[in-house]
Amino acid sequence: MSEAYFEILRAGINSTLQDEGRLQQNHIGLPISGAIDKRNYLISNHLVGNSPNAASLEFAYQGPLLKLKSGRTSAVIAGNVIFNIIRKNSEVEEGVCYQTFSLNQDDQLDIISTNKSVYGYLSVQKGFKGEYFWGSCSINTKSEVGSNKGKKFSINDEIFLNQSEINHYSKKINYFNPKIEFIRVLKGTNFDYFSYESKKDFFSKEFTITKLTDRMGMRIKGPKIENIVDTNIKSEGLIKGVIQVPSDGDPIIMLSDHGTIGGYPKIGVVISADYDKLVQLTPGNTVKFKLVELSEAEKLFQLYNLETKTILDQIK
Amino acid sequence: MIKNISNLGDAAVYCDFGNKVTKEINSNVIKYFKSLNKNKILGITNITPSYNKLIISYDLEKIRFEQIKNKILEIKIEDLNPQENKIIKIPVCTDEEYCLDAGRLSEKLKLDIGKILKIFFDKKYFCYMTGFVAGMPFLGDIDKILRLKRLETPRVKVPKGSIGITEQFSNIYTYESPGGWNIIGNTPTKIFDKLNQDNPLKINPGDIVEFYEINKSEYLNWNE
């Protein structure tokens, strides 16, 4: 039996393989990477019965058009995604998120777009076949590390599956991606570099997500954040969720493929419980930040984690 | 040695060793980095040393700030394989095609480019840290005469292999990327090798870098 694989007929805007991410390599310049919306990644893998850390195909905005050139598989799409399954006989079935479907040889999967969100996930039974660097197959395009030579997928590329046969399989859940009112933030290590007015603005005014947003970072625009101490600090380590403010006064939020060190003052850090929701905001969306304390952030994470577990437990 | 320890968000510890950039402070940071790597505290996902800070991120499912902070303060800091100051020689071509900021450097420093290059190549440089993108070394210190700010408008694309200088530091662009450092030359040698996963970096923190000049034909025919 030959290996199952998809051929990419249309690549989509930013299609990459992602797993849970690459740990312990920040010090050589490799950030965590991994599926940027972890909850949707976990749900998609759970639905097709995969073990944690299986490789999924992550896409952003417009997704790929894929043709299963060989083999059969059971697949699922998670997120808020519009897609069609085009059968070998040209029959078109409208796709439903969080509901598994089977694909046979020469069927096509047309992931048209994410709806009012950025990222979605395609998972297949037993996962995609990745190439592993430091324990992860996640593609980091900036350092050209991970599967597919560290590059996002392009037309005519092939994506191999770990398994080429399936048994009859059917699972689904009802899940709605939560809307957010606020992104909750802890004070950053340079919080007091900013003027009283700017600190007040940061936690009361609206900020708009700009087009200068990708897996590395999110540039937002609102009232200018004025630095009254120093617009540069000595470069130091970064983590995802850090909100830096360069001298132009427009904040940048570090996302999963962030540079591992940076020299702009940090006004805040997005709490772990709100990260998945933050990354799904599209350019043009507005957001407000709310200041919380560490103990509250820790409780909110526990709650978030419990919610995720409850969702996964519904999948029987 | 740690002057202050605080949280960076809800899933990282921020250890502050001071604001100055000196070899002494930096080697304290590296000592902590190595001792933490050896002691393996449950839940740590990344440890990021820099000039004078150490950031330790952790899995919030496994441990919380107060617990990990105490564990960090409890570990014994040893001088594990003290930096042996390995010397790394890096070939650089400063042909006009690669020395992109010759004009700017000459004008701002009021020195001819030959003199600037001589001062640059006469010095040895200490590697303080690596990162931003994979393998990029941050080296110092540049001679006081050559200290200059970043470009007012950063380049959209700095070629891979470029040697940059700004303020007291020098770096090597391990990938083509945007950047604002003054470009003095380019190296044909591979600085980051992802296929050598045990030892991917040519230059590690604590190493000493000696740059030496090669001509364009040596550059173009470089073979490793």
Distance from CA of A146 to the nearest CA of B (A): 9
Do A288 and A145 lie in one domain? The reply is no
pLDDT of residue A1: 60
Confidence of residue B170 (pLDDT cuts 50, 70, 90): very high
Check B8 against A32: CB less than 8 A apart: no
Does a structural domain hold residue A71?
A: yes
Q: Does the pLDDT value for residue A316 go beyond 80?
A: no
State the span(s) of chain B assigned CATH 3.30.1360.40.
4-74
Q: Render the burial of A258-287: b for 16+ CB within 10 Å, e for the rest.
A: bbbbbbbbbbbbbbbbbbbbbbbbeeebeb
- Pairing outcome for strands A182-187 and A286-291: parallel
Query: Are B10 and A301 a contacting pair at CB < 8 A?
Result: yes
ipTM for the predicted complex? 0.95
Q: What is the pLDDT of residues B58-88, one digit of tens each?
A: 999 999 999 999 999 998 888 776 667 799 9
- Band of pLDDT at residue A179, cut at 50, 70 and 90: confident
Instruction: Tell me which residue has tokens 């009012």.
Output: A116
The answer to whether A275 contacts chain B (CB < 8 Å) is no
Chain B CB within 8 Å of residue A295 CB:
no
CB-CB neighbors (< 8 A) of A259 in chain B: 131-133
* Contact by Cβ (8 Å): B162, B100: yes
Counting beta carbons within 10 angstroms of the beta carbon of residue B6, is it exposed (0 to 12), middle (13 to 18) or buried (19 or more)?
A: middle
Based on the domain organization, do A211 and A133 belong to the same domain? no
State residue A232's pLDDT score: 80
Nearest CA in chain A to B195: A133
Give the whole-angstrom CA distance, residue A71 versus residue B150. Answer: 54
Rounded to a whole number of angstroms, the CA Rg of chain A reads 20
- Report yes or no: A196 at the B interface, CB cutoff 8 Å: no
Q: Mean per-residue pLDDT for B153-175? A: 94
B90 neighbors B171 (Cβ within 8 angstroms): no
> Are residue A53 and residue A137 in the same domain, yes or no?
yes
A219 has pLDDT over 90: yes
Reported confidence tier of residue A87, pLDDT bands at 50, 70, 90:
very high
**Interchain CB contact of A26 with B (< 8 Å):** yes
**Burial class of residue B5, CB neighbours in 10 A (0-12, 13-18, 19+):** middle
- Residue A176 falls within a domain, yes or no? no
State the CATH class of domain B4-74: alpha beta
Decide if A156 is inside a domain: yes
Whether the CB-CB separation of B17 and B28 falls below 8 Å is answered with yes
A27 at B interface, C-beta within 8 A? yes
A112 and A39 fall within a common domain: yes
Q: Measured between CA atoms, how close is A110 to chain B, in angstroms? A: 33
> Helix (H, G, I), strand (E, B), or coil: what is residue B60?
coil
Identify whether residues A18 and A54 lie together within a single domain.
Answer: yes
Minimum Cα–Cα distance from B63: chain A residue = A298
Residue A280 sits in which domain range? 182-313
Residues 6 or more apart in contact with residue A88 via CB below 8 angstroms: A104, A105, A106, A107
Distances (CA, A) of A151 to A37, A57, A139, B177, B192: 20, 13, 7, 15, 17
Residue B97 in tokens: 């095609």
Q: Are A105 and A189 in the same domain?
A: no
What's A193's DSSP letter? G
Average pLDDT over residues B19-46: 93
Residues A41 and A103 reside in one and the same domain: yes
Minimal Cβ distance to B9: which of A23, A269, A305? A269
Do the Cβ atoms of B80 and B28 come closer than 8 Å? no
Residue span(s) of chain B under CATH 2.40.100.10 come to 87-220
In the predicted model, what is the mean pLDDT of residues B182-195?
Answer: 97
| Calpha distance B91→B151 (Å, rounded) | 24
| Mean of pLDDT over chain B | 94
State pLDDT tens for residues A266-309.
Answer: 999 999 999 999 999 999 999 999 999 999 999 999 999 999 99
Residue A100 has pLDDT above 70, yes or no: yes
DSSP reduced 3-state for A278: helix
The structural domain count of chain A equals 2
* CATH number for the domain that contains residue A304: 2.40.100.10
Between chain A and chain B, the number of residue pairs with CB atoms below 8 A apart is 138
State the pTM of this model. Answer: 0.95
Question: If you measure CA to CA, which chain B residue comes closest to A300?
Answer: B10
Q: Do A262 and B132 touch (CB under 8 A)?
A: yes
| A240 and A295 co-located in one domain | yes
Asked whether the beta carbons of residue A28 and residue B135 sit closer than 8 angstroms, the reply is yes
Lowest mean pLDDT among A94-103, B94-103, B152-161: B152-161
CB spacing of B46 vs A27 below 8 angstroms = yes
In a domain, A172, yes or no: no
- ∠A262-A289-A236 over CA atoms, to 5°? 15
**Cβ pair B175:A142 closer than 8 A:** yes
Cβ proximity of A182 and A215 under 8 Å:
no
Tell whether A37 and A110 lie within a shared domain: yes
Q: What is residue A52's predicted lDDT score, i.e. its pLDDT?
A: 86
Residues in chain B, overall count: 224
One-letter amino acid for residue B110 of the chain: K
Residue A89 CB burial class (10 angstroms; 0-12, 13-18, ≥19): exposed
Distance from the Cα of residue A305 to its chain's centroid? 17
Could you tell me which CATH number the domain at B87-220 has?
2.40.100.10
Task: Classify residue A300: in a domain, yes or no.
Answer: yes
- Chain A: residue nearest B12 by CA? A239
Contact B46, B40 (CB under 8 A): no
Residue A41 lies in a domain: yes
* Same structural domain, A40 and A141: yes
Q: Which residues of A touch B54 (CB under 8 A)?
A: 237
Q: Are residues A152 and A194 in the same domain?
A: no
Q: How far apart are CA B85 and CA B4, in angstroms?
A: 28
Residue A18 shares a structural domain with residue A155: yes
